[in-house]
Copies of this chain bind each other. A is one copy, B any other.
């Protein structure tokens, strides 16, 4: 569903108002009947003979994915990767807003990047009060587990982890780890000759 949502948001940006399962399938490189099955599992969103109205379908999928309310994000670790995340402009369409940035480097604390000021990681405890329950971890590998522990303590309920390591959290907390090297390691398999 997130892939479909991205495709629909892309079409909406380009001014499209409706789309058929075949159109969307071609755009995303999947099958039309797959899309229809997936959509119909959650309800009847389309109009026969016409297709799907992008605006209503988008808001339906956002509701299903719980993206219908604005969510605040904290970024922990403002190195190169953290800075790249702060500079990234693609969160808004999913209802996300970066609301806090943390680092443990005194030289960085207090600096403003975009419209958030970098805070001391010692202030992580304020997240609960500030209703921030989503975090992105972009700290060095050896600090990842400690950071995750502090985030859990601070009431964070989901983490996007960019450190290439296993972090263990209570199972009430959802973690998605993005390991650049491992993703890269998938590619050679699809490169046949040599």
Q: Which residues of B contact A189 (CB under 8 A)?
A: 64-66
A56-71 interface bits toward B, Cβ cutoff 8 Å, 1 = contact, 0 = none:
0000000011110101
Q: Which residues of B contact A79 (CB under 8 A)?
A: 84, 87
The copy count of this chain in the complex is 2
Determine the distance from Cα of A6 to Cα of B191 in the docked complex, in whole angstroms.
20
Q: Are A186 and B81 in contact (CB under 8 A)?
A: no
Residues of A within 8 A of B (CB): 2-3, 5-6, 10, 27, 64-67, 69, 71, 73, 79-81, 83-85, 87-88, 90-91, 93-94, 96, 133-134, 136, 141, 157-160, 164-166, 174, 176, 178-191, 194
Return 18 A-B CB contacts under 8 Å, by A number: A2-B182, A2-B186, A5-B182, A64-B189, A65-B189, A66-B189, A80-B80, A80-B83, A80-B84, A85-B180, A90-B141, A134-B184, A158-B187, A158-B190, A159-B187, A160-B183, A160-B187, A178-B183
